[in-house]
Structure 1
Amino acid sequence: MSIGGKDVDNMATINGMLWIAGAGAGIILLIVLLVFFVKRKKKSPDVFEDMEGHEFEYFCADLLADRGFTEVEVTKGSGDYGIDILAQKDGVTYAIQCKRYTAPVGVKAIQEAYAGRDYYDRMVGAVMTNQYFTTPAVEAAKKLKILLWDGGYIEGMLEEN
């Protein structure tokens, strides 16, 4: 069939083919994204899931040592004034509170790092966790000048090794 000198059947066929190609490209893109996220998930499983708190502290100490921290020391389990790791890097001394949690970390951990930093006479206080931080914890950390190293930060450190 011809309208105005153009073959309508051929145009419909071409439009249909373009639509199918576009839909196919979209499906392929979706599959590629799904494969990427599944592989990423498998690549970085929650290695902390079966760790107890003290095991997580030693894991963090080893990770810090691998990242150039020196004089890395895990404090004793009780009476540590909220600090689990003492370390140094580039002349800066750190007091680090470790939290292996199944939920976001709250303000209490920030308070412990703040108090422990002063108790151990360290320059920097930090909280290191496999999780993330609540909004009040982030606000407290900003006010008290405590570093927050969350699960994403730890994952980045692991990928760098």
Structure 2
Amino acid sequence: MATSGRRPRIGRQYAFSLRNLSVCFGLIAIVVFGVGVTVRAAGGATGAQPAAAVAVGLLTLLAAVVMRHRRTAPASPEEDSLGAADFEAMTASEFEQAVADLCERDGCRVSRVEGGAGDLGADVLATAPDGQRIVIQCKRYDSTHRVGSQDVQRFGGTCFAVHDAQIAAVVTTSEFTKPAAEYATQCGILCIDGQELATWASTGPAPWTE
């Protein structure tokens, strides 16, 4: 069962990164190059010109190496966005919390994150920025396990009558069967599959605002 306790966010963390280091080296190289050109143009001391040229060459080479490494190195976890998160690798409770985090990111106020046998179909309860009550059921399935019509029907039996949902959604890492999608459409339940979840996580906005 998931709890409402907070865990580290999956989103972007603004910490020291190779990107910042490479930008700094690039700026230093540009500045030193400009100084070297100025010294040469001004006809500085005989010993200063070779020294400036060597310094420019070394820093330019270092900046080039760093920039090349930046282009080829894989993105660090800190530089990854939520869209690159491996939702399938999460536990059920972690997935519920991740969905709640997405809701909060998009301006919703989450009042409960509590999956399990006693949740009556509501894994995440939240309030949208416009005041509508959101009820979400989370299905962390692998790609071979699709959400069936029985899953959606059970949720449909409680999301409106028990939880007073104004926005009801089933979010999965997998896909929905055709009968499940048809039933959801008839009942006004949003079906958010793995591809739509990735889009929501990486770019937003929340699916119910579209």
Q: CA deviation at 1:49?
A: 2.7
Q: Mean Cα displacement is larger for which, 129-138 or 104-113?
A: 104-113
> SS of 2:88's equivalent?
coil
Residue correspondence of structure 1 range 18-97 to structure 2 within 5 A: 47-89=86-128, 90-97=130-137
Q: CA deviation at 1:77?
A: 2.5
Q: Which amino acid aligns with 2:133?
A: T
Q: Which amino acid aligns with 2:194?
A: G
Q: CA deviation at 1:113?
A: 2.3
Paired position in structure 2 for 1:100: 140
Q: Unpaired runs of 5+ in structure 1? A: 1-42
Report the Cα distance in structure 2 between the residues aligned to 1:120 and 1:147, rounded to whole angstroms.
Answer: 16
Contact 1:109–1:127 at 8 Å: present in 2 too?
no
Report the Cα distance in structure 2 between the residues aligned to 1:110 and 1:135, rounded to whole angstroms.
Answer: 11
Q: Deviations over 1:50-95 (max 9, x none)?
A: 2121111111111111122113421253311111011111111111
- For the aligned residue pairs, the C-alpha RMSD in angstroms reads 1.9
* CA separation of 1:145 and 1:73: change in aligned 2, threshold 3 A: same
Report the Cα distance in structure 1 between the residues aligned to 2:180 and 2:85, rounded to whole angstroms.
Answer: 23
Normalising by structure 2, report the TM-score.
0.52
State which of 134, 145, 152 in structure 1 corresponds to 2:195.
152
* CA separation of 1:49 and 1:75: change in aligned 2, threshold 3 A: closer
Report the Cα distance in structure 2 between the residues aligned to 1:130 and 1:49, rounded to whole angstroms.
Answer: 6
Report the Cα distance in structure 1 between the residues aligned to 2:148 and 2:90, rounded to whole angstroms.
Answer: 20
Report the Cα distance in structure 2 between the residues aligned to 1:95 and 1:62, rounded to whole angstroms.
Answer: 14
Q: Which one has more relative contact order, counting CA pairs under 8 Å at least 6 apart?
A: 2
> SS of 2:117's equivalent?
coil
Q: Which amino acid aligns with 2:104?
A: A
Paired position in structure 2 for 1:121: 164
Paired position in structure 1 for 2:6: none
* CA separation of 1:59 and 1:71: change in aligned 2, threshold 3 A: closer
Report the Cα distance in structure 2 between the residues aligned to 1:130 and 1:158, rounded to whole angstroms.
Answer: 12
Q: Deviations over 1:90-138 (max 9, x none)?
A: 1111111100001221112211321221211221221011111110101
Report the Cα distance in structure 2 between the residues aligned to 1:82 and 1:106, rounded to whole angstroms.
Answer: 15
Specify which structure has the higher proportion of strand: 1
Paired position in structure 2 for 1:131: 174
Paired position in structure 2 for 1:3: none
Q: Which amino acid aligns with 1:47?
A: D
> SS of 1:119's equivalent?
coil
Normalising by structure 1, report the TM-score.
0.67
Q: Which amino acid aligns with 2:132?
A: V
For this pair of structures, how many residues does the alignment match? 119
